[in-house]
Structure 1
Amino acid sequence: MKKLILSAIILTTALSCSKSFLDREPIDRKVDETFYKTPQDALEALTAAYDELQYGDYDNIQLVSEIASDDCFGGGGESDIPWKRWDRFENDNNTNLNNWTKYYTGIYRANIVIAKMDGVNWGADTTLKTRYLAEAHFLRAYYYFDLVRMFGNVPLVTAPLSPGQYNVPQAKPEEVYQLIANDLKFAADKLPSVAYAGIPAGEYGRVTKWAAEALLGRVFLYYTGYYGQTEIAGAVNKQQVRTYIDDVINASGYNLVDTFPRLWQASLSRFAGEDNVETVFAIKFTYKGLGDWNKHDGNRMQVMIGFRNDAVPPYYKGWGAGPVNPKLWAAYEPGDTRRAGSIISVAAENLSYPVIYPQKTNFMWKKYMPMQDLKAEDYNGDFQIDNFYDYVAIRFADVLLMGAELNLDGDLGKAQLYYNRVRDRAFLDQNHRRTLTPDAAGKKLIMDERRVELALEGHRYWDLLRQGIPAAKLAIDNTSTDPQFNVVFRPETKGLFQIPQQEINLSNGSLQQNTGWNQ
């Protein structure tokens, strides 16, 4: 059984994974006894670990967390029940099953790479071994971070399991975060310090030292905020994280694109392009699946947020998920280029869109919206599965705001400098700067800035949770004369998602449901 499972996973090295270095196809079936012998074998196993990044459809964590936040509603049609349940924090036994499966598959594949590298014949040069191990540690951390944020109480698996070992008990969250932080430190310390300008175009999408350092900052801020800690015990403290983030800001070669709207493909001819100087880490997608539903080459989340049923040029069609809350549109200050750069206002853009569906607000995502002139069909793809816009998982502006937050109580001048860079780009002047203070008021300025800078990029829900459950409830609760827009955050869940009931049933008692989700 172990051999068969392993063969299937290596075959899905499908190396249909993505662009450039990931754009490969398997030659034949491979089994444990004859694999993991050469550097090429190691690369194929690593690519299989990367491949899981692309999986996700209606349940993509970026979309789900935006729906769960105060910035979006569920949307979709009458039958799109999961989106409505994420929006309203309602029970649904197996809504989150695909995410649970995705992340543990990715963790399994990363664990395989880590476990098998000593058996590869690397010759005299072990540089590749070090790099592949570092990338695998990053990927394991990335998968675990999404998993533990969503579910909180998850099994901690650090090696490939054999039959009889599958019912692993839930670990304490602090143990999972310690593993994540140590994995990211390993990756950051082992990967080469190649600045952005020196990264070969064929390697865009691969993990870098800077991506590991930046993700460590995100993990630290979430864990210490959500759990009320001052450090990730046994892994990293605040000063160390400041050093990592400062390193990204000062040594990576990444920077801000000159104007905010150019970051997104909706700017069309003005689009700065994928893999631009602001993209610290992106999940790569391509149209090359060409309508094959067995492949996950395309960004399937994009069709979910498209204009429901009909294209509205220059925007393309989809299912109408995640309609934007008008409160987000109103949160932007006059003159902020990020509002029209992030959100489509049907009225402000003088669009004609008479289609009616539940929770329609006439505000939609501009970031990641499929475009009429960049549609999959023009490349012989399927508009449902072959959209090919990369998901920018870590953007340099986010790193600057993390740096500002981390330095707020340490080096206020540095915090102000990082904060100013984001504000100045947003308004295209220096007249909209605000003065940070080393207290709750300064923290609020940074969190407000994160909301409008990173809107619809999958961060808002987690930023609310790390400010405390009362703050999250205050923001997310929504009362309307139209009942379909009534949302009540349930603090008893602590913001955690419902563990799939199927997994609990199969666990022989090793998994317990999160508080607030018991049937």
Structure 2
Amino acid sequence: MKILKIKKSGLAAIGICVMSVLVSCNDDFLYEEPLSSLSADNTLVSVAGFETYLTGLSWAAREEYSQDDNTFFITNFPGTDVGEDAGAEYFTYRNWISYLTSVTPEVGRNWNWAYGTLLPQANTVIVYANKEENNGIWESDAQKNAVIAEARFYRAYAHNFLANLYGGVPIVDTILNVPKYDYVRAGRQEVYEFAKNDLEFAAQWLPSANQTAPGRISKGAADHLLTELYISLGQYEKAIESASRVIESGDYRLMTSRFGSSQSESGDVFSDLFKDGNFNRSSGNMESIYVWQFESFTVGGGGTRDGNQAVRNFGPFFVRILDPNGVPNVPTDEMGRGVGRVRGTVYSLYEIWNDANDIRNSPYNMRRDFHYNNPNSEYFGQVVPPKTSAEDTLRSMYSYPRKIEGEPWNLNNTSGRTSKDVYVYRLAETYLLRAEAYLRNGNTDKAAEDINALRARANAGLISPGDVSLDFILDERARELLFEEPRRRTLIRMGKLVERVKQHGLLESSRNTIQDYNGLWPIPQVVIDANIGAELEQNPGY
């Protein structure tokens, strides 16, 4: 059973009650108290009420991914070293100068998700849990602090997310009952420090992985994100310690043998990690740390735009491929129906795969061959030959990681969506974060050990300490986490976006137009314009 089986009507009420906290009226005689509503004043008066809000927070966090069809994907992949636009009508980071501005859609949407959805709900839980009149509802301080810790994790997640994309941003640590028009930007390091403090509290009070339901936050998730924050703050010893708490806790381990519902099928341990039903600990998956839950035929089980949209965005528009007689391919349960929104680069699809034994590049994990699949075609089952049309090769038929494939959403294979869950954090990334911290702290021996833990699982050749560099870690992240990690945020955080796009970007126009100032996103212009009580400074270059 997944945690996000909740009704949309309840979620809408949570959103409304958060807004009711933000705006109030001075005319008391106009105030009505709907006693059956999910307003904060009515709901956050019992442990069960706080659990309702924490479930809403899980939903709000998943909206980063499912708020619409493509914001998550455009935000994280095209215009990086691993991805680029595919379709001719898609035009994002092909020209950085003209595309990335303060009015670019995803620049505003991500800001609005963090400040308008996740932070208000997290702060509502924190403020109400600390109210003196609620002291009597808790069985112990530990119970109260665990609730606050989960909300503080999400608050830290949002601030880290914002700082990684935009640099310095306003810190929002409470709820307001009047409009505010004089926000100012805190320094980027100050934002990281604020998020770090939240996470240190969260890591102390959150339950272990074995005590949490799927989709809920555990101590390991807090320590994983804390590792990234410590690296951003230059506190490498602390980053090593927090990552080690996850790796050596006994709660997690890299999966090195077949497991779960797919172990009787053809495949390998890496493909098992991405099979439907194998994302959560109930399947035997001890590598999973934090997972967004998706479930077909369940109201609220898929977010605003129902389902996992990876197939739609990453999958080629294969139904546009015709056999020699003009018969088109058809959507299938296995491949779904992609529209070729984002494709891999030469770097991510070919150049990084320099070890023939690496199972992450096996046919179970990378789809490189295609067949005519329409039963009405006389070429049914035959291999589709290489195409010469740019539209075909860029958009309709290209290699991709099979981790995006899954059971179609609501069993509709034309939907372009699946019911597959989504990793936010898994232990493989914790190893890579610790390797980065070791490298930055001058210990390449230990960094190589952590990288080799993943390479040994993948049956790839082991590396020596002299091989370790930030670029090698980014290469290994691409091999292990391709189309999983939010790549743009990783590159911005590491200060490598501009350099890596110039080196590995797919399109010449993208490589030639990216500028040094594109290492951060602009602040949305609508936000600057609305903040009439103080100057909200724009990032240089925009």
Q: What's the TM-score, normalizing by structure 1?
A: 0.79
Where do 1:293-332 residues align within 5 Å? 295-296=304-305, 298-308=307-317, 310=319, 311=330, 313=332, 314-328=334-348, 329-332=350-353
Q: Which residue of 2 aligns with 1:38?
A: 46
CA radius of gyration, larger in: 2
Q: Which residue of 2 aligns with 1:388?
A: 419
Whether contact under 8 Å (2:236, 2:438) holds in the other structure is no
Whether contact under 8 Å (1:10, 1:45) holds in the other structure is no
Whether contact under 8 Å (1:54, 1:285) holds in the other structure is no
Name the aligned partner's letter for residue 423 of structure 1. Answer: R
Change (3 A) 1:368 1:412: closer
Question: How far does the alpha carbon of each residue in 1:123-174 deviate from its partner, in whole angstroms, 9 at most, with x for none?
Answer: 4433321111111111111122222211223221111123232441222111
SS in 2 for 1:488: helix
Deviation at 1:502, TM superposition (A): 2.4
* Correspondence for 2:130 among 94, 108, 118: 118
* Correspondence for 1:141 among 156, 167, 172: 156
* Correspondence for 1:418 among 425, 430, 450: 450
In 2, the alpha carbon distance for the partners of 1:87 and 1:381 equals 38
Report % sequence identity: 21
Deviation at 1:209, TM superposition (A): 0.8
Change (3 A) 1:403 1:266: closer
Whether contact under 8 Å (1:286, 1:297) holds in the other structure is no
Question: How far does the alpha carbon of each residue in 1:344-385 deviate from its partner, in whole angstroms, 9 at most, with x for none?
Answer: 3246994579794694284343255244xx11132x79825x
1:52 lines up with 2:60 in the alignment: yes
Name the aligned partner's letter for residue 375 of structure 1. Answer: P
Deviation at 1:396, TM superposition (A): 0.8
For structure 1, which segment, 174-183 or 144-153, has the greater mean C-alpha deviation from structure 2 after superposition? 144-153
Question: How far does the alpha carbon of each residue in 1:175-206 deviate from its partner, in whole angstroms, 9 at most, with x for none?
Answer: 111111111111111223x3x5x346xx0211
Name the aligned partner's letter for residue 339 of structure 1. Answer: N
Whether contact under 8 Å (2:78, 2:92) holds in the other structure is no
Whether contact under 8 Å (1:287, 1:388) holds in the other structure is yes
Change (3 A) 1:28 1:285: farther
Whether contact under 8 Å (2:247, 2:431) holds in the other structure is yes
Q: Which residue of 1 aligns with 2:6?
A: none
Question: How far does the alpha carbon of each residue in 1:94-150 deviate from its partner, in whole angstroms, 9 at most, with x for none?
Answer: 412221111112011111111110233424433321111111111111122222211
Deviation at 1:258, TM superposition (A): 2.1
Whether contact under 8 Å (1:249, 1:399) holds in the other structure is yes
SS in 1 for 2:541: coil
Name the aligned partner's letter for residue 507 of structure 1. Answer: N
In 2, the alpha carbon distance for the partners of 1:45 and 1:399 equals 29
* Correspondence for 2:459 among 423, 427, 430: 427
In 2, the alpha carbon distance for the partners of 1:351 and 1:140 equals 49
Deviation at 1:264, TM superposition (A): 4.7
RMSD after superposition: 3.6
Change (3 A) 1:290 1:303: farther
SS in 2 for 1:456: coil
In 2, the alpha carbon distance for the partners of 1:297 and 1:41 equals 26
Name the aligned partner's letter for residue 291 of structure 2. Answer: A
Deviation at 1:470, TM superposition (A): 5.7
Deviation at 1:425, TM superposition (A): 1.0
Unaligned ranges ≥5, structure 2: 1-10, 20-34, 258-266, 320-329, 372-381
Q: What's the TM-score, normalizing by structure 2?
A: 0.76
SS in 2 for 1:405: helix
In 2, the alpha carbon distance for the partners of 1:510 and 1:362 equals 48
Where do 1:264-413 residues align within 5 Å? 264=271, 272-275=278-281, 276-289=285-298, 295-296=304-305, 298-308=307-317, 310=319, 311=330, 313=332, 314-328=334-348, 329-333=350-354, 334-340=356-362, 343-346=366-369, 350=383, 356=391, 359-360=394-395, 362-371=397-406, 374-378=407-411, 383=415, 387-408=418-439, 409=441, 412-413=444-445
Q: Which residue of 1 aligns with 2:487?
A: 460
Where do 1:434-513 residues align within 5 Å? 434-437=463-466, 441-465=468-492, 466-468=494-496, 471-478=499-506, 480=508, 486-488=510-512, 490-508=514-532, 510-513=535-538
Where do 1:242-261 residues align within 5 Å? 242-258=240-256
Whether contact under 8 Å (1:473, 1:489) holds in the other structure is no
Whether contact under 8 Å (1:265, 1:367) holds in the other structure is no
Deviation at 1:243, TM superposition (A): 1.1
